[in-house]
Chains A and B, each alone.
Chain A
C-alpha cells in the first residue's frame, strides 16, 4: 500500500511540475519547437531543471542494493540501438509537433475536463493499443522465421 502512496505522490508532484512550468500548454511546446517563429526557450529550462535533479540523483539511488519499498529496480533491459527505437521516436515526433502534446502533459491536462484533451488522450491510448498489436504480430512473424530456420 505504501508503494501505491509513493506512486500517487510522485504523480502528483510530476503533474504539479508540468502545470507550474506550463508545459501542459500545447502552445508553449509549439513555441519551443517553432524555431522559425518567435522562439520560446521555456522547454529547455524545464528539461534543464529536471536533469539538474535526475543526473546527480539517479546514480546515487541506483548505487543502492534495492529501492526503499521494492525488491529490485525495474529498469529497461534493452541497450542496443534498433529500428523500432528510431522509427517509434520519429512517429512520436510527428504527433508531438502536430499537437504540441506529449503523454505527460496530455494526461495531466485531463484535469481541465477539456473535450479536446479527452479526444487526444483517447486517440493516444488507441495508438498504444494498435502498436501493441503490431508488436505481437511482428514477434509472431519473427518466431515463424526462427522455426523455419530450425527446420532447415
Chain B
C-alpha cells in the first residue's frame, strides 16, 4: 500500500484546520463539507447558496492549484463502477442523515467539544474499518 506521509499529513492537516478557523471567524460557519454541499442540494436562500458555491469552487481550485504545481493529483481507486456508485450513494445518504462527515464532525465538531460529533466520528471510523476488513480480507 502507501508509504506514510507524516510531515505532509501534519502540514495538510494544519491547512485544513486553518481553513476551518477562517470560515468560522469571518462567516460564522462550520467547514463541514457534506453540510455545505447538502445546503446546495436541497435548496435554501439565494444568499446562502452563494457562499456555499464559493467554498466548493475554492475547494476544487485548491486541489487544482496543487495539481498544476505538482503535475497531477494522486488518485488510486479501490472500488470501481457499480461499487463506486453504491459507495457514493451511501456517503451522500449517511452524511445527510447523520448531519456530517469527516470534516464537520471530525475536525470542527471535536473542536467544539460536541458529544454528538465525537460519537459520530467513532462510529464512522469503526464501521469503515470493519467494511475495509470485509472488502479486502474476507470477500476478496
Contacts and interface: CB of A to CB of B under 8 A. Distances in A.
B131 A98 contact: yes
Nearest to A56: B111
A88 interface: yes
Contacts of B128: 33, 93-94, 96-97
A40 B132 CA distance: 14
Interface residues of B, number: 112
A112 B73 contact: yes
A88 B92 CA distance: 10
Contacts of B9: 21-23, 42-46, 48-49
B123 to A, nearest CB: 4
B63 A28 contact: no
A53 interface: yes
Interface residues of A, number: 116
Given A41-B4, A50-B20, A125-B37, 11 more contacts: A11-B58, A19-B62, A45-B9, A53-B18, A67-B24, A88-B93, A91-B93, A93-B123, A97-B128, A97-B131, A132-B42
B97 to A, nearest CB: 3
Q: Is the interface of B mostly helix, strand, loop or mixed?
A: helix
Contacts, number: 514
Contacts of A87: 97-98
A50 B17 contact: yes
A107 B119 contact: no
Interface of A: 2-28, 30-31, 33-38, 40-55, 57-58, 61-62, 66-70, 72-76, 78-81, 84-104, 106-112, 114, 116-117, 119-132, 134-135
B136 A98 contact: no
A88 B101 CA distance: 10
B138 to A, nearest CB: 10
Contacts of A43: 9
A111 B107 CA distance: 23
Contact of B33 (A41, A54, A76, A103): A103
A28 B77 CA distance: 10
A95 B85 CA distance: 9
A78 B112 CA distance: 13
Interface in B86-140: 86-103, 105-112, 114-116, 119-121, 123-133, 135-137
A95 B58 contact: no
B38 A13 contact: no
A142 to B, nearest CB: 15
A87 B77 CA distance: 26
Contacts of B55: 7-8, 10-11, 14
